[in-house]
Amino acid sequence: MKPLEFVKPGSIQEASQLARSNGASARLIAGGTDLLDEIKEGVVRPEKLISLAGLPAMQGLDVGPSGLELGAGVTLAELASQPDIVGDYAALAQAAESVATPQIRNVATLGGNLCQRPRCWYYRSIGFPCRKKGGTTCFAALGENKYHAILGGSDCVIVHPSDIAVALISLNASLTLTSADTTRTVPVQDFFEGPDVDITSENILVPGEIVTSVSVPAPPASPLSAKSGSVYLKAKERRGMDFATSSVAVALSVSGDVISSARVTLGGVAPVPWRAAAAESVLVGRNVAEIDLQELGEAAVHRARPLQHNAYKIRLTAGLVGRAVETLLSDWR
């Protein structure tokens, strides 16, 4: 058995410095629910694990008039059950509740969920040295691609596995990324990058950089007779624990009877959580009574290019988007 050193730094800056100076031989670990699987599967072989667990700067869940402030170390179970999140940021609570099992949600962290690696079965098997692992072939492109991308895939057709990311993008959230000497804030949408940018990674983190917190703005302040809300719907193959075959988070505001703002994000269909801008255009400015759910669904997937085994995702996703909008509007009728 290969020895593995476990280090508990006392601060984010120390954790960052350790990660940077040890390079690929070290990995950050939070709840460990994804990383330990990767190690067991032999996909990564670190010599050192740098623990983020318990660092005070990564804890905390505050709800205020301007929104939510979440430490990246908050667990998914906390996100799913906190009453203010369930009430005012429903898509986030529903996305958290949809992840895995209670045992995993009790340990898995917000930061770890956003930074988890892809579930592509070729990537997860050491028998397949695919492009993401530095090889020259995407085995999924012409192989078993039932769960892969219908949108935005190029040389790698993974789907991004995080449910939480999809909800956060529709809620217009941003992330704080901290390293030993810098801090920057980015919209969650800009955190993820596809294989056309760097096929070996899924986000913009540079060596030593750590996701330390997430900010979610409060739902738009409502003038008289305005309403806003959000919802997360997830389709999966099994009723129990499963990743999304397709998912959607919709956040809407309605003034009078007219939709004043809409954010629609898709999960399980692209290498990054996918903002469905064309679907948003169908919604904004429309009277709620005039929304054509078929037109909406078609707009959401109009750029889809399925692989051999995943064309089913097109209708599934179109239907899910329509159902999400219908669910929100029917709550307000």
Ligand X SMILES: Cc1cc2nc3c(=O)[nH]c(=O)nc-3n(C[C@H](O)[C@H](O)[C@H](O)COP(=O)(O)OP(=O)(O)OC[C@H]3O[C@@H](n4cnc5c(N)ncnc54)[C@H](O)[C@@H]3O)c2cc1C
Give the tokens for residue 178.
């901290």
Interaction of residue 108 with ligand X, rule CB under 6 A: yes
User: Can you tell me which of 15, 26, 27, 307 binds ligand X, judged by CB under 6 A?
Assistant: 27
Element (H, E) at 168: helix 163-170
Of 171 and 262, which CB lies nearer to ligand X in the complex structure?
Answer: 171
Nearest residue (CB) to ligand SF4, 157 versus 180 = 157
- The entry of ligand X, ligand SF4, none near residue 161 (CB within 5 to 8 angstroms by kind) is ligand X
Nearer to ligand X among residue 98 and residue 230 (C-beta): 98
What letter does residue 183 receive in the DSSP assignment?
A: E
Q: Which one of ligand X, ligand SF4, none is in contact with 157 (Cβ closer than 5 to 8 A by kind)?
A: ligand SF4
Look at residue 307 and give the partner it binds from ligand X, ligand SF4, none, a contact being a CB closer than 5 to 8 Å depending on partner kind.
Answer: none
Task: Report the alpha-carbon distance of residue 175 to residue 210 in Å, rounded.
Answer: 10
State the DSSP code for 269. Answer: S
Return the residues of window 55-84 that contact ligand X according to CB under 6 A: 72
- Nearest distance from residue 210's CB to ligand X, in Å? 4
Of 99, 130, 158, 173, the one binding ligand X by CB under 6 A = 99
| Beta-carbon contacts of residue 101 (< 8 Å; ≥ 6 apart) | 240, 241
Q: Work out which of 111, 152, 195, 271 binds ligand X, going by CB under 6 A.
A: 111
Q: How far apart are CA 41 and CA 14, in angstroms?
A: 29
Q: Per rule CB under 6 A, is residue 132 in the interface with ligand X?
A: no
Judge contact between 107 and 31, C-beta under 8 A.
yes
The interface mask with ligand X, positions 168-207, x = CB under 6 A, is: -------------------------------------x--
Structure tokens at 34: 């994804």
Q: Which ranges of 54-107 does DSSP label H, i.e. alpha helix?
A: 76-81, 83-88, 90-97, 102-107
β 246-255/61-64 pair status: unpaired
Cβ of residue 110: shortest distance to ligand X, in angstroms? Answer: 8
Q: Per-residue x/- marks for ligand SF4, 113-142, CB under 6 A?
A: -----x-x-xx------xxx-----xxx--
Residue tagged 């909800």 (tokens): 167
By CB under 6 A, residue 52 contacts ligand X: yes
Length of the chain: 333
Pairing of strands 48-51, 26-29: parallel
Binds ligand X by CB under 6 A, chosen from 71, 112, 219, 322: 112
Q: How far is CA 157 from CA 5, 112, 160, 199, 200, in A?
A: 34, 22, 10, 10, 12
Q: Closest residue (Cβ) to ligand SF4?
A: 130
Integer Cα distance of 78 and 96 in angstroms: 9
Cα 205 from Cα 177, distance rounded (Å): 8
Which is nearer to ligand X, 109 or 230 (by Cβ)?
Answer: 109
Does residue 34 contact residue 116 with C-beta atoms inside 8 Å?
Answer: yes
Q: Which two tokens stand for residue 35?
A: 């990383």
Binding to ligand X, residues 134-173 (CB under 6 A): 161-164
When asked if residue 156 is in the footprint of ligand SF4 (CB under 6 A), the reply is yes
Least distance CB 44 / ligand SF4 (angstroms): 14
Q: How far is the CB of 164 from ligand X (least distance, A)?
A: 6
**Residue 121 Cβ, how far from ligand SF4 at the closest point, in Å?**
8
The span from the CA of 127 to the CA of 137, in Å, is: 13
Binding site for ligand X (CB under 6 A): 27-35, 37, 52, 72, 99-100, 104, 107-109, 111-113, 115-117, 161-164, 205, 210-211, 241, 243
Binding site for ligand SF4 (CB under 6 A): 118, 120, 122-123, 130-132, 138-140, 156-158
